[in-house]
Homo-oligomer: A and B are copies of this chain.
Amino acid sequence: MKIHEDQLIERIRRRIPSAPGATLRVGIGDDAAVVRPSRGKEWVLTVDQFIEGVHFLGSAHPPEVVGYKALARATSDLAAMGALPRLFLLSIALPAHRYAPVGKTRTGSWLDEMLKGMAKAARRFDLRLAGGDTARSSSTAPASGSDRGPDRAKVAMQITVLGEVEAGRAVRRRGARPGDAIFVTGQLGAAQLGLELVLRGLHRQRRWQRLLIPHYYPVIHIELGRWLVRRRLASAMMDLSDGLSTDLARLCRASGVGACIYRQSLPCVTLPPQLHLRGCDPLKLGLHGGEDYGLLFTVPKRLVRRIPRDTNYHFNHDGTRLTRIGEIVRGRAIKLVGADGQVSPLEPRGWDHFRAS
């Protein structure tokens, strides 16, 4: 099926919430979108890529998951600033049909399923599609006639998300001070465990399906981020996208501080006893596993008692679990304190696109 650019845009527009309203004055179909700011608010914006073969596997990840996750990851950056998501732009490069192997086109049912997943995320996060750009992706020539070649049709998406936050109240990475308590949401390493199952081909086994959920449909903590902003409780915040060890190092570097993390306090993912994954242990997954998209934030000591223990009560849509995992300290070192009290340096060993290559 050959498609025209205008038809493609129309298919996207029909599937994803995109009607103009009080905030979105001009949406899809003009040269650019026009957005009206709310009084006393600032805009928070970021862009995130989601590329086949880099961020997802076209052969393993269901298209609906691809669409959901592409939008969820970008939205996570808004949650990490304490912003309320409002709008997004979708930029997508799709392989031209004539080089796509039969049954592997990305402009037919794959695209519909992908958009379905993205629409689901848009409704969940209350995001409206304001515009975007479509193009043919560059990997269009067949690699020696085989559909298994490295140059198989590839999809690349980029999501620009915009949210609003009360002026001057966005929570940055750089506000952590010695003595602040460090918190994380959810389980650490749960998304990485899901990815490991996919990479080992175990994701098709029904008994492990449940373990794929954090990898497929990460929870985005918008409500918690908003709550922390409104009550001015967080001194610094970011989302856990590349793994605790890497992300905590970034937060500490931005704040000019060090940190002390307690091994015993880490809410690491638990592996079912029947599941044996060579090289995967809960501590490594918890410290270095990426894509959890939980929030990592610090709270001044005197405010810690205001952080609810039973977060299900406050943030009941996703049963967010909050765990205090350590303290901000003077200096630059980030240390891990073991169960036996032994202290070791915590090296950043999470995800880095260019190091991983």
Contacts and interface: CB of A to CB of B under 8 A. Distances in A.
Contacts of A158: 47, 49, 91, 133, 158
A346 to B, nearest CB: 17
Assign chain A's interface to a size class. 35 or more
Contacts of A43: 34-37, 43
Interface stretch (A77-85, A259-267, A273-281, A282-290): A77-85
A91 B42 contact: no
A58 to B, nearest CB: 10
A143 interface: yes
Nearest to A87: B45
Interface stretch (A22-30, A178-186, A308-316, A326-334): A22-30
Q: Which of A156, A163, A167 has the most CB of B within 10 A?
A: A156
Given A32-B46, A49-B91, A156 B130 contact: no
Contacts of A126: none
Contacts of A163: 32
A291 to B, nearest CB: 14
Interface stretch (A3-11, A195-203, A205-213): A3-11
Nearest to A33: B45
A190 interface: no
Contacts of A162: 45
A323 interface: no
Q: Which of A6, A46, A53 has the most CB of B within 10 A?
A: A46
A139 interface: yes
Given A31-B80, A354-B4, A91 B51 contact: no
Contact of A42 (B37, B52, B77): B37
Interface stretch (A62-70, A92-100, A214-222): A92-100
Contacts of A6: 250, 352
A33 B44 CA distance: 5
Nearest to A161: B32
Contacts of A78: 31-32
Contacts of A30: 81, 172-174, 238, 254
A27 B55 CA distance: 25
Interface in A99-118: 107
9 contacts: A5-B354, A6-B352, A25-B168, A29-B173, A32-B45, A37-B43, A46-B89, A97-B357, A135-B353
